[in-house]
């Protein structure tokens, strides 16, 4: 296991370096100028030039890149051009809402989807299977914003049970935090749950046809043991992959959900900073996302090894 982790970590270094270079060049070569956005409509060319110089945007590309890369190696992602606070602090402010939403959505999806998928899989072709599949198709097909607005209309405006928008930190008030997260979790979790339920169902159907399941049944094991010990464990690798990919997507920024519920998370931050060309923050965010993707993949690989001994060889 340690060798696996080490080899994955080593493989990450060139990937992150290439990602960093690509991000930097892509940003600086695309149109847009933070000085113009900052100064407003009536700024003169001389004023803009002074702002660019003050922000260090007048430096040659290669010098700027080397300076930034040097900072990153020391753990410093620079300062936000607009908010004038360190990028790490700005990202830190936005990390908690996205992490909480991701965690809640993942828990919700797995809690709902895995049992539903298992039930559908073992009752393939029956009424319950069809009902689950209808729900899955609906969950996939309904746009996230429609689910969000619908929930807000019924449960917030009409019933007054949940807040319409906003985020409260878990460290500030845990109950209010969870209360604010219910609707966003369900909104973003439905599509994700549909994906996991579908994958679970397919895996269970596949596994239940295997010889060792028939053998287990023939040995007289109870159905719960057959399902829990033999079927689920062998069906889990593709389910873990799906959950892992979903977590990575959620961490990458659930922009629509964050916008609909006005959650100040990483997704909204990404859109904001791209629109205003806040280069240090965009660069920091993209580096963070690539790191998170790597981390999620590593966790998935480790789980694979844990549930499937064949992968170790």
What is the CA angle 129-132-138, rounded to 5? 140
Considering only 56, 259, 298, 307, the residue that binds other proteins (CB under 8 A) is 259
Helix residue spans in 74-141 (DSSP H): 87-122, 127-141
Per-residue x/- mask for other proteins, residues 133 to 152, rule CB under 8 A? Answer: ----------------x--x
- CB closer to other proteins, 65 vs 82: 82
The yes or no reply on residue 115 touching other proteins (CB under 8 A) is yes
Residues 6+ apart with CB under 8 A from 233: 307
Considering only 3, 13, 14, 41, the residue that binds other proteins (CB under 8 A) is 41
- CB closer to other proteins, 93 vs 297: 93
**Cα gap 119→245, rounded to integer Å:** 23
Residue 173 backbone phi and psi in degrees, to 5: -160, 95
Helix residue spans in the chain (DSSP H): 2-29, 34-39, 45-55, 61-73, 87-122, 127-141, 144-151, 174-208, 211-218, 223-225, 232-251, 255-260, 266-276, 279-307
**Cα gap 90→82, rounded to integer Å:** 11
Residues 6+ apart with CB under 8 A from 53: none
Residue 74 backbone phi and psi in degrees, to 5: -95, 10
The yes or no reply on residue 17 touching other proteins (CB under 8 A) is no
Using DSSP, state whether 86 is helix, strand or coil.
strand
Per-residue x/- mask for other proteins, residues 190 to 229, rule CB under 8 A? Answer: ----------------------------------x-----
Considering only 20, 79, 87, 269, the residue that binds other proteins (CB under 8 A) is 269
Please give the residues from 157 up to 186 whose contact with other proteins meets the rule CB under 8 A. 157, 160-167, 173, 175-176, 178-180, 182
CB of 79 to other proteins, least distance (A): 12
Stretch that binds other proteins, among 42-50, 61-69, 211-219, 238-246 (CB under 8 A): 42-50
CB of 241 to other proteins, least distance (A): 21
> In the complex, which residues of this chain contact other proteins (CB under 8 A)?
31-33, 36-45, 47, 50-51, 53-54, 80, 82-85, 90, 93-94, 111-112, 114-115, 118, 149, 152-153, 156-157, 160-167, 173, 175-176, 178-180, 182, 224, 259-262, 264, 268-269, 272, 275-277
């Amino acid at each position: 296991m340690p060798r696996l982790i080490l080899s994955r970590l080593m493989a990450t270094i060139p990937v992150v370096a290439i990602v960093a270079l690509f991000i930097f060049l892509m940003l600086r070569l695309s149109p847009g100028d933070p000085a113009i956005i900052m100064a407003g409509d009536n700024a003169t060319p001389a004023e803009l030039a002074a702002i660019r110089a003050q922000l260090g945007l007048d430096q040659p590309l290669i010098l700027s890149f080397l300076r930034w890369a040097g900072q990153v190696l020391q753990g410093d992602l620079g300062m936000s051009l607009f908010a004038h606070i360190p990028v790490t602090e700005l990202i830190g402010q936005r990390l908690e809402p996205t992490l909480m939403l991701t965690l809640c959505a993942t828990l919700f999806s797995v809690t709902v989807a895995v049992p539903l998928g298992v039930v559908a899989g073992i009752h393939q072709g029956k009424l319950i299977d069809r009902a689950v599949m209808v729900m899955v198709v609906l969950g996939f097909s309904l746009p996230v914003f429609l689910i969000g607005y619908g929930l807000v209309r019924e449960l917030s405006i009409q019933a007054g049970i949940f807040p319409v928008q906003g985020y409260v930190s878990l460290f500030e008030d845990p109950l209010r935090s969870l209360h604010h997260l219910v609707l966003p979790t369900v909104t973003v979790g439905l599509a994700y749950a549909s994906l996991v339920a579908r994958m679970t169902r397919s895996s269970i159907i596949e596994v239940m046809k295997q010889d060792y399941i028939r053998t287990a049944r023939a040995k007289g094991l109870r159905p719960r043991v057959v399902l829990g010990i033999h079927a689920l464990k062998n069906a889990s690798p593709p389910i873990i992959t799906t959950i892992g990919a979903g977590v990575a997507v959620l961490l990458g920024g659930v922009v629509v959900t964050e916008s609909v519920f006005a959650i100040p998370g990483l997704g909204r931050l990404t859109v904001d900073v791209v629109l205003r060309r806040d280069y240090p923050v965009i660069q920091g965010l993209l580096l963070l996302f690539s790191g998170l993707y790597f981390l999620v993949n590593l966790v998935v690989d480790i789980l694979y090894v844990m549930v499937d001994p064949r992968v170790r060889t």
